[in-house]
Structure 1
């Protein structure tokens, strides 16, 4: 009798500790369409804002190099000095030819002026005056020709001092002093690059661009200002934003991508030509997307995204949605939900389709009912009474 009384008390105690049974409590959020930026992260390469190859415009021996490799050079600054001896002689020759042509022109003009009144007096024939006037004009033309040759010789002499075409940072010198340079040589003397600002060439697949344009055409997305931020090779953020300058109007046949060019300030020279970066920017704003907390979305073995919503009669309904990207702690759902849907985000561990649930707003405090009178205490009393009776 004592054992029976004790066992009955323990069973009653366990029954009282379990509490009232009922549907599981779940937390939900009410979703509404909102404007979500369509952020894209693409690979890119840094390119110099300006690039100029320093090339000789006259042939000769390089006598001096007048810059430090890797330094900043200014437009018009002399970089190389080519031996000017030959070109100085050509200038002197052109000056002498010009002086001779001017003397001949002066004599021819004086002769034509003398023949003019004599031709009117018929002291000389009209033909003689015509020939004299023609010789004077030919002499003036010779003066102009020799003057042009002098200017050409002076220009060639000036080209013996090779200037910097642009302002920028110059690389290493590709020739040395004493080398022979020509106007048609394949190798430049040096390369100058302007690195502030810089360009970043971004590659986007034509399929992504087509999807974006279709979204804009449907009206479900709105264009956004194309401000770009950079992620460097070490994973750090560049810190300064750039703007998209333009996009190519053709697709690369080899890669199937479209090139977009963004412009970035580079005051510290951190970005170098050829550097690999990641460009993150917003191309459009999706005006009909839903933001669902990541805890409320799961994926099946096929990778399909699924959420549970509170349906009629407070039953959990599984719904397949389209969620291709995240934004912070949320999944961006573009299809499968309707405004006002109650998406379950808490208590999803044991959910199954079409089971009854007790929905409460997400993060609401859970109600814990106190034990009813006689559950635990009563069970204990009965056990004590049985024990006493047995005693």
Structure 2
């Protein structure tokens, strides 16, 4: 009886062990799928956005050269005027009278020059026979010379009166758009007054004056000297208008100041833009995008793959050869559209994670693949804008 119980117990234990061995162990979760972008060298055009202000290529203030009352205004405010076009007429009656008086004085001087000349000649003949004294002859010669000088002076007075009368007709000094008239017919104007009659601006070609810090210029020159950046062909400039649109016509950089403004530490640059439609108005604030150069071997990383740690440092997650996640600290220079130029922390051949970063930790095994929402193949040439980079 004891022997039978022992056999039954062994059979029960064996059956339990077999039953337990038949249960499968829990399976490990599969590696997380992540989207990666391969890193490689690319060419990037370096640009920088700078604040600027539009100024007219030519500006002239229409001012009176004489005193008088405006009789007529002969232009349409806001219209286009040509150089030499008549703009204002000032009452010229006083100046016509002054011209007539000057002409009369000239005629009187011309009449006396003959009489004094003949008298001087007669006195010279009488001196030869001792009929008059030499002093009287010298006085007659001096009177003749003074009469000739009076003729010259009165001739100049006539010319001055003609110029003054000509100033009663105020003409446009340059061609361009004329603004509003600050004086109306009947108003008294004076030479040297502080306010102009109107202002003319040439706007078919405009200037855009921008400022760039001396530190940025030094960084660019040092990069060119080291060979990391090549100078861009042609100093092209794009214009970003206040409403966010890009001006359709490219400008050209004309010159850069040779000195640094000591108060701001910046250098002034000037670009010219054609303005055939008059869209650019003097005084308008814009942003100028200057093409500084081209970086031939740049590391471009999508911005989705660059994050920040709690200390504010830029970081990136990459997949190594064993499909494990590595955390990299990176340094970026400037934005290139939706990418960063990375100067340190990434190298060609790295696989940057741009999708699936949520709850992803360094050392985790992942299943890399092409991203679904991010374009994996970067363009051949990108434009880099110096709008600030993550460090």
Q: Same-fold call, TM > 0.5?
A: yes
Q: Contact 2:33–2:356 (CA<8 Å) still a contact in 1?
A: no
Q: Quote the Cα distance in structure 2 between the aligned partners of 1:49 and 1:164.
A: 16
Q: In the superposition, relative to structure 1, how do residues 6 and 185 fare at CA in structure 2: closer, same or farther (>3 Å)?
A: farther
Task: Verify: 1:227 aligned to 2:255, yes or no.
Answer: no
1:191, 1:261 → 2: CA distance? 23
Q: Is the 8 A contact 1:31 1:343 kept in 2?
A: no
**Aligned positions, number:** 357
The answer to whether the 8 A contact 2:251-2:274 is kept is yes
The answer to whether the aligner puts 1:319 opposite 2:328 as a matched pair is yes
Aligned position for 1:68: 76
> Deviations 1:189-248 (Å, cap 9, x if unpaired)?
111122111122223344434433443444433333331111212211111111222233
Write out per-residue CA displacement over residues 317-354 of structure 1, whole angstroms, 9 at most, x where no aligned residue.
Answer: 4332221322134321223445x443434676376546
Which residue of structure 1 aligns with residue 280 of structure 2? 271
- Normalising by structure 2, we get a TM-score of 0.77
How far is the alpha carbon of 1:286 from its aligned partner? Answer: 3.0
Structure 1 residues 8 and 147: alpha-carbon distance in aligned structure 2, compared to 1, 3 A threshold: farther
* The one of 147, 167, 183 aligned to 2:175: 167
Compute the displacement of 1:186 (Å).
Answer: 1.5
Query: Is residue 2:59 matched to residue 1:55?
Result: no
Corresponding position of 1:157: 165
299, 320, 334: which one aligns with 1:290: 299
User: 1:89: which partner in 2?
Assistant: 97
Q: Is the 1:26–1:347 contact (alpha carbons within 8 Å) kept by the matching residues of 2?
A: yes
How many angstroms apart in 2 are the aligned matches of 1:56 and 1:50?
A: 19
Moved more, 215-224 or 183-192: 215-224
Q: CA RMSD in A?
A: 3.7
Look up the SS of the partner of 2:268 in the other structure.
strand
Q: Which moved more, 1:89-98 or 1:344-353?
A: 344-353
* TM score, norm. by length of structure 1: 0.77
| Secondary structure class of the residue paired with 1:143 | helix
The 1-side partners of 2:121 and 2:205 are apart by 65
The alpha carbon displacement at 1:280 in A equals 1.4
Q: Which residue of 1 aligns with 2:375?
A: none
- Change in 2 beyond 3 A, CA 1:271/1:130: same
Structure 2 runs not aligned, ≥5 long: 1-11, 372-391
Q: Is the 8 A contact 1:91 1:153 kept in 2?
A: yes
Which of 154, 166, 175 is the matching residue for 1:146? 154
| 1: CA distance, partners of 2:330 / 2:114 | 96
Quick one: distance in 1 between partners of 2:23 and 2:245? 63
The 3 A distance-change label for structure 1 pair 62 and 22 is closer
Post-superposition shift, 1:59? 0.4
Paired position in structure 1 for 2:199: 191
C-alpha distance in structure 2 between counterparts of 1:71 and 1:25, whole Å? 64
Q: How much does 1:156 deviate?
A: 0.4
Pairing 1:181–2:189 present: yes
1:263–1:122 distance in 2 versus 1, CA, 3 Å: same
